[in-house]
Amino acid sequence: MPITDTLLSDAPLHVTLVVGSNRHGRFGPVVADWLLDRMRDRDDLIPEVVDVADVHLPTSLTPTPEATAALADVTPKLEGADAFVVLTPEYNHSFPAALKNLVDWHYTEWQTKPVGLVSYGGMAGGLRAAEHLRQVFAELHAVTVRDTVSFHNAGASFDDTGHLKDPSGPEAAAKTMLDQLVWWGKGLRDARASRPYGA
C-alpha cells in the first residue's frame, strides 16, 4: 500500500455536527455541548459545527443573494466533512423543517459519507425523527450508522449546568455510535480517494 494511502487511512476524520433545531427556547445546544465534549475527547475526530439557527436559507430553494451568502459559510463545512453527526429533536413525529431545508440545499456534499444520528425529545426520545432522517440520507447516497444516541425526557436528563445526571448509558451509546462512524468514515474516505462514485 502506498504511504499516502496509509496516511489517509490513519488521519483523523473531519466530522461536521449539524444542530438541527432553530426553535425559540430549544434544548439542542445543551445536547450539542455534551456531544462535542465526547467528540473532542477522541484523537480520531476533528469536529466542526453547523447550527441551523445560524443559517438563514429561504424555503423556495431559489439562489437569492441571501441564500448565496448563507451557503458560502455553510457549504464548505459540509463539503469538507468526512462524516456527519446530525442532532435532531422530534417535532410532530418527525424532524424540524429547518433541518430538512438545510439538507435539501445540498446534494453531493452528503454523498458517500456516513451519518450518525443523535435525537432528543419526550417519551420517544426523538427516535421517530431519526428514523425519518435515515430515509432522507439514503436518497442522498449517504450511509446512516446503525446505532444512535437518544435522550428520552431530555430536559430531565441534564442538570442546570448542562451535565448529565446519569452519564453512563448515553456515554456508552455515544462511544458505540462514534466508533461506527469512524469505521465507515475511514473506509468511505479511502474509497472516494481511489475511485469516483457513479451516482
pLDDT for 132: 98
Distance, first Cα to last Cα, the chain = 27
How far, in Å, CA of 159 to CA of 142, rounded? 35
Lookup: cell for 105: 440545499
Angle separating helix axes 168-194 and 3-10, nearest 10 degrees? 160
pLDDT for 166: 97
Residue 80 has pLDDT above 70, yes or no: yes
Return mean pLDDT, the chain: 94
Which three-class secondary structure state does DSSP give residue 196? coil
pLDDT for 3: 45
Q: What's the pLDDT band for 10 if we cut at 50, 70, 90?
A: confident
How far, in Å, CA of 135 to CA of 74, rounded? 23
pTM to 2 decimal places: 0.94
* CATH code given to domain 3-194: 3.40.50.360
